[in-house]
Structure 1
Amino acid sequence: MTVWDLIANAGRRWVLTLCGALLMGLGVLWVVNVPPLYFAQVRVVLLPPVAAQPNAYGYTSESLIDLAGVVARELRPPTQDAQSVSGDVTLVGEGIRKGFSVTQQNSGGQWQYRFDEPVVEVQAVGATPSEVRAQISTALRQVESTLAEIQDEQGVIAANRVRITLNPLQPQLIEEKGSRVRAIGSIVLTGLVSTLAVVGGLGVGRGGSSRRRSKRSGARGDASAVGVSSA
């Protein structure tokens, strides 16, 4: 079947063609009206205490890395069993539309855990900028309180406590719109292919039946011609 045959079939099957166009239009309308998501991320860096007095969590970078891991585990939801393999993995990429996370970045890959920095990653996602700012603030307060509770249990005095700093100092909001042009193109292409496939399939079935009827009629005509000649 040629392209012109498909176009002709689409014209004959205009009801199906119209239905396909309407579905494509609804898909494009949905993509255009999808509200954007807002995302923010900040690194909470653990720093050794300023004072030189003993602190079991402040001697070396390894102990600070361990402390960061304890904080992340305390704030990790029960349903989350593993740390992120890559720092590029975001809540938006995981399909989460509201909430925050506190994780320790795993540098060892999928099959091995390795943590190289005394850092916890805080991410937040929401439908509005104010919602994301509130989520980030809540997460940072929980990091600070968890860190304080851990050191309270060890009896660390205020002068010897591990400190934190943010990188960057002010979390930057990012509007996640996705590629709407790509999504619209995919919907239109899928709709066209699907519609033409349905219309073309129906056209082939009808044409095939017509050809079979023509062949049977031709065969009967040939047999009649042979009978006349024999007579």
Structure 2
Amino acid sequence: MTLNQIFRACARRWYILLGLAILTGFGAVLAAGAGGVYWTRVDVIFLEPSSSANPNALRAGTGGNLVAFAALVERQVNGNLDTPRFSNVESTLYGAGVRQGSRVSLANTGGQWADAFTRPVLSVEVVDSSETAVRSTLGLVLAHIDRISAEQQADAGVPQSSQITTLASPQQAVISRAEGKGTRAGLAVLVLGLALAGAVTAGADRFLTRRARNRESSPF
């Protein structure tokens, strides 16, 4: 079917095209009205226990044992499931289209082609529709991490004075608003929707025309 035939079909079945165009318009408005989201990222640093030999836990956090323990906690927090990783370590949840959710992952110092887990740090990312919701979810996730960490060490019989501890950085989460791409999304929905509406209208015209001809040629 040529473009001219499609235009003629749309002219004949304008009522079908109009109905589909109205639906497309509603979809475009909804897509364009999808506003921004609130987002934050906090690092949870695992620290060796303080002692007379190692009084400053902040300076001891690069050991392999700490990294392994942080990885264990990450897996427990995520329900023993592998954490999906973005190809770019700087990627964000909202950048991937997530508007509500959280992610806990072992800090990755590698690049696009290779992962590198050298720091005992869990990266906690939260995205939601309001600042209050982000702060609430973040608090729950951080508490969950601390609880899993304490349970793992208690189950291993580690005395409380010798247990690995955690520190959130920053301690006061910075929550930012990330604006969505509503206008672009609305325009995309409008263009694709109108194109689809034209194709559907043309198809309906062919079907209705063929059925009318069959009725005219039928003796009954």
Q: TM-score, normalised by structure 1?
A: 0.67
Distance 1:70 1:201 in 2: 57
In structure 2, the gaps of 5 or more residues are 211-220
Distance 1:207 1:69 in 2: 65
Give the match for residue 116 of structure 1.
118
The counterpart of 2:159, out of the listed 155, 164, 167, is 155
* Superposed displacement of residue 15, structure 1: 0.7
Distance 2:61 2:52 in 1: 9
Distance 2:10 2:176 in 1: 44
Structure 2 counterpart of 1:104, which letter?
A: L
Secondary structure at the aligned position of 1:132 is classed as: helix
* Superposed displacement of residue 31, structure 1: 1.6
Give the match for residue 216 of structure 1.
none
Distance 1:173 1:147 in 2: 25
Answer whether contact 1:46 1:68 (CA < 8 A) is retained: yes
Secondary structure at the aligned position of 1:82 is classed as: coil
Secondary structure at the aligned position of 1:28 is classed as: helix
Distance 2:209 2:99 in 1: 50
Instruction: Select the structure with the greater relative contact order (CA < 8 A; seq sep ≥ 6).
Output: 2
Q: Is the counterpart of residue 39 in structure 1 residue 39 in structure 2?
A: yes
Secondary structure at the aligned position of 1:38 is classed as: strand
Give the match for residue 139 of structure 1.
141
1:50-92 Cα shifts (integer Å, max 9, x gaps): 43448xx9686211111211221232225xx212333445544
* Superposed displacement of residue 127, structure 1: 2.8
CA 84–195 in structure 1, closer or farther in 2 if over 3 Å, else same: closer
Size of the alignment, in residue pairs? 204
1:4-30 Cα shifts (integer Å, max 9, x gaps): 554343222211121121111111132
Structure 2 counterpart of 1:183, which letter?
A: A
Structure 2 counterpart of 1:154, which letter?
A: V
The counterpart of 1:104, out of the listed 103, 106, 114, is 106
CA 96–60 in structure 1, closer or farther in 2 if over 3 Å, else same: closer
For 1:208-223, list aligned pairs within 5 A.
none
CA 123–206 in structure 1, closer or farther in 2 if over 3 Å, else same: closer
Give the match for residue 215 of structure 1.
none
In structure 1, the gaps of 5 or more residues are 209-231
Give the match for residue 72 of structure 2.
70
Distance 2:101 2:189 in 1: 30
Secondary structure at the aligned position of 2:85 is classed as: coil
Aligned-pair identity (%): 26
CA 111–154 in structure 1, closer or farther in 2 if over 3 Å, else same: farther
Give the match for residue 217 of structure 2.
none
Q: TM-score, normalised by structure 2?
A: 0.70
Distance 1:192 1:174 in 2: 36
Give the match for residue 219 of structure 1.
none
Structure 1 counterpart of 2:127, which letter?
A: V
Q: Is the counterpart of residue 26 in structure 1 residue 26 in structure 2?
A: yes
Give the match for residue 83 of structure 1.
83
